[in-house]
Amino acid sequence: MFLNLNGNFELTDVELDANAPNLSASVSRSSGIDNRHAVSNATYKRLRIKNAKTVTPNFSGGYGITFWHGGCDNVTIDDIEFENIGQSDLGLFEMENWTVRNIKSKNCGYMVINVESSNKSRGVKNGVVDTVYASNVGRSVISLIRNSASVGDVESVTVQNVYVDKCGLTNSDVGGIRVRGTKNCTIDNVKINECNSIGIRVSGDWFGFKGTVNSYADLASLTGLNKGDIYRVSSEGLLYTYLDNQFQQQGQGQSQELLKCKNLVLSNISINKIQTTVNGEGVRVQGEAFCSHDDITLSDIYIGNSQSTGVLATYSNRITVNNLKIDKVNTS
């Protein structure tokens, strides 16, 4: 509805109705507010943004508010109600120096707050998310992830005081709160009543990794290659990336440097009920495909009624877990 391409934009005290339920299926992907072109200074207060969810459920509609394609710096978002948004309520993809406070979300089809450094991004940095009440969330309540193709970081972001009734309703894997490849981020005081997914998932996905070959010579026999494909040569212990029609040595661990989490603190986490039959850990801190994390602190964790593992932590360096409490971990 609104495009902020010029900067210095303030919008307060209105309801924005993206009107998707009343649109025909062919034109039904409407959204709320779009900030782009690397402008500065946007303020949104006391708004209600609703009905960006199409008749097709879940990840099918529009956004509430996004910052991308250059994004916006110096942003204040305070006291916003989101209702029936198809994609993310807040898509924070390219921005610096921002605060998001006092968010209420109902029936979000995707992620309530998606902090994700996107392709060609300059990153998402120096931000605070404070006080979020969410219910009936399709995927994650909070997502802090570095996109696999991003050239920017998710860095110095604090998320605190998040209260959730039900999340992960349509996805059992992504996680109620998801973290990947962040630097110096903190998530503090999260209370989830019922999660139909992993409660908190800290992953180290390594996009582009295709497999392992025995020797360098074996690379020449590979077919169907695409730019960016990564293979590990086990005899050398090195990684090679397929670029410009040839493999280039990347050295061991370059990709993991991009997507590992560094200096991550998860504290005061309470998940009352993990309600799923697959991937149902309360907290999963896991490296994947050679990726490990550095300096993760888990403190004051409460997991109740989990159908699976309470806390799973693998492939990570220097994980500290303090005051961990796990109650009634029911596995099957």
Binding site for another protein (CB under 8 A): 1-19, 22-23, 26-34, 46-48, 61-63, 66, 81, 87
The residue (of 86 and 181) whose beta carbon lies closer to another protein is: 86
Give the residue carrying structure tokens 């392709």: 119
Q: How far is the CB of 45 from another protein (least distance, A)?
A: 9
Q: Which is nearer to another protein, 28 or 182 (CB)?
A: 28
For residue 285, the minimal CB distance to another protein (Å) is: 34
Give the C-alpha separation, 291 to 130, whole Å. Answer: 30
From the number of C-beta atoms within 10 Å of its C-beta (0-12, 13-18, 19+), residue 320 rates as exposed
Question: Cβ of residue 19: shortest distance to another protein, in angstroms?
Answer: 4
Closest to another protein by CB, 28 or 292: 28
Give the residue from 78, 287, 307, 311 showing the smallest Cα distance to 203: 287
Asked if residue 322 lies in contact with residue 299, where contact means CB atoms within 8 angstroms, the answer is yes
C-beta of 167: minimal distance to another protein in Å? 23
Of 42 and 289, CB closest to another protein: 42
Closer CB to another protein, residue 19 or residue 249? 19
**Residue placing its CB nearer to another protein in the complex, 69 or 262:** 69
Nearest approach, Cβ of residue 139 and another protein (Å) = 17
- Least Å distance, CB 147 to another protein, is 18
